[in-house]
Every structure is written in C-alpha cells, then in structure tokens.
Amino acid sequence: MGRLASLPARIPLFPLPNAVLFPGMPLPLHIFEPRYRQMVRDTAEGEKTIGMQLLRPGWESDYAGRPPVFEIGCAGVLEQCELLPDGRFNILLRGVSRFRILAEHEGQPYRLASVEPLADATGDATELETMRPRLMASIGTASDGPAVLVMQAELPHDAFVNALCQSLALTPVERQSLLDCDSVLDRARRLIEILQWKALEQVTGRGGAETIH
C-alpha cells in the first residue's frame, strides 16, 4: 500500500485549465495574476504547499470567480520560488500527495480548501513489472524526453508511471482520469488504454476530442 502523506488541513488551490500534477513529479509554473502572486507570497511564508486542481470544462465564463473544479487534485511543495522584478514569480512545485476537496473557504483573493490526503497504493509489483515494456511500446510518437527518463531500469514503479502521465502529450481530462486512479497499477492500466486509443485514432484518422474513453 502507498504511504498516506501528511498535508496541512487547509491549503490554497491553484485551479488551471491545462495542468495536472502527479505525486513525486516536478511542475514549473509562471505566476502573473495578482491573486496568485499573493498566494505564492503567503505559501512561501507559510506551509509551502499548494493544491493543483483542474478546472472542469466550461470554466471560461467564470475564470475570475470560482468555476467548478474536479474533486481530486494533487498537492505540491514549493521547491523553488523566484521573484521577478515586476512582481511575478517563477516557481517549481513537487507533487507530494493526491487529495480530495472537503470544503472551500472565503477570506483570501485566491481559493482555499479543507482537504483530505489520498493514499496512492502501488498495486501488484509483478504485474507492474510486466506492464513497463507494454507502456514503453505504447508510447509511439511521444517525445524523447519522457522516454529517456522512464527507460531507467532502477526507476521505481510509481515514478515510472507518474513520469509518463505528467510528460506525455495527453489532454487535461485524460490526465485527470489518471490522477483519479487509486493505485499506480490502475493508473498504468488506464494509461495503456489511453495510448492504445490514441494509436487507433492515428490509424483511423479520427480527431482526438477531449473525452474520457
């Protein structure tokens, strides 16, 4: 079973339409909106934890407010924080734990939520070992970056699978469906399904709509 990470009971949320963070993975971000500049300043002085959350489709009409988000996100620890001369930030988050939103709270220009951490079980190690070559074979036309990373034989199963989920050319909703999986094994199975579907789309010439298949 995966270890249940410790998270602050209440964390800031950073909802975006195109970014999904996975446990153990790095995510560089450029922060320019005033409310999120304040979030970074408060986070750097406090718990150093930010909850990455994917916006649900239709967010465009209320982006400046509180548009609906997917219930499950991933918290990241602020590993690097560079303040730029104009007040913007370049930051680097490192995923530490999936979480579920319990309730949102007022009081800041950015969103705050009470959350519960979610364990990321590994699953059957033998089956995961057999899935590694299947995943590598399914990558197809993916860029060399993630392929070079995950070809390291000593890479643990969770890092191997999460690196692919974070790095491959997937739609945001496809990434969210992977983050929603309760174990690394289930995530690997789901990723194979997605990659096989993408390969089929290339063969048949179908357009890749942002849907969960």
CATH number at residue 135: 1.20.58
Taking the C-alpha atoms of residue 119 and residue 2, their distance in angstroms, rounded to an integer, is 6
Query: Quick one: pLDDT at residue 212?
Result: 40
DSSP 77-122: EEEEEEE-TTS-EEEEEEEEEEEEEEEEE-SSSSEEEEEEEE--B-
- Is 114 found in the same domain as 35? yes
Report whether pLDDT(145) > 50: no
Containing domain of residue 50, as a range? 10-118
- Is 199 found in the same domain as 138? yes
- Is 71 found in the same domain as 98? yes
Residue 184 lies in a domain: yes
What's the domain count of the chain? Answer: 2
Q: What is the mean pLDDT of residues 36-50?
A: 96
Residue 185 lies in a domain: yes
Averaged pLDDT score across all residues of the chain: 86
Report whether pLDDT(150) > 70: no
pTM score, two decimals? 0.86
Burial (CB < 10 A; 0-12, 13-18, 19+), residue 65, is exposed
More confident residue, 37 or 149: 37
